[in-house]
């Protein structure tokens, strides 16, 4: 028995659990989360590029592809609205990539 009344083995197990949780949090904060964030942004950029190629006329750029891809609009309506907002809010593609790689 130790000072707080718990057996030494239980105190060691408790300390190991705390260290494991702390290390997992450190790993998540330093490695996992930034990686997930970059992957999500890259996937969003690919989706934006696809939608822009299909619906460039939404921004006043004439495109013959839009005539054929307009049939996709009912299936992409929710994504289209969010994409259109993102594209209007974004300063430029270069600005987005600069933020992604911490270039100021």
Per-residue model confidence as pLDDT tens digits over 58-74: 878 888 888 888 888 88
Question: Tell me: the pLDDT tens digits for 10-42?
Answer: 989 999 999 999 999 888 888 777 778 888 888
83 with 56: CB under 8 angstroms? no
Cα–Cα distance for residue pair 16/12, rounded to 1 Å: 6
Q: How confident is the model at residue 3 (pLDDT cuts 50, 70, 90)?
A: low
């Amino acid at each position: 028995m130790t000072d707080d009344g718990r057996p030494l083995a239980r105190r060691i197990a408790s300390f190991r659990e705390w260290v494991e949780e702390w290390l997992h949090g450190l790993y998540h904060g330093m490695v996992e989360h930034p990686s997930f964030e970059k992957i999500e942004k890259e996937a969003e950029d690919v989706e934006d590029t696809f939608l822009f190629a299909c619906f460039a006329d939404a921004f006043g750029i004439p495109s013959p592809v839009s005539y054929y891809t307009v049939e996709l609009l009912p299936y992409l309506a929710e994504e289209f609205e969010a994409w259109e907002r993102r594209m209007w809010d974004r300063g430029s593609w270069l600005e987005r990539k600069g933020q992604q790689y911490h270039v100021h």
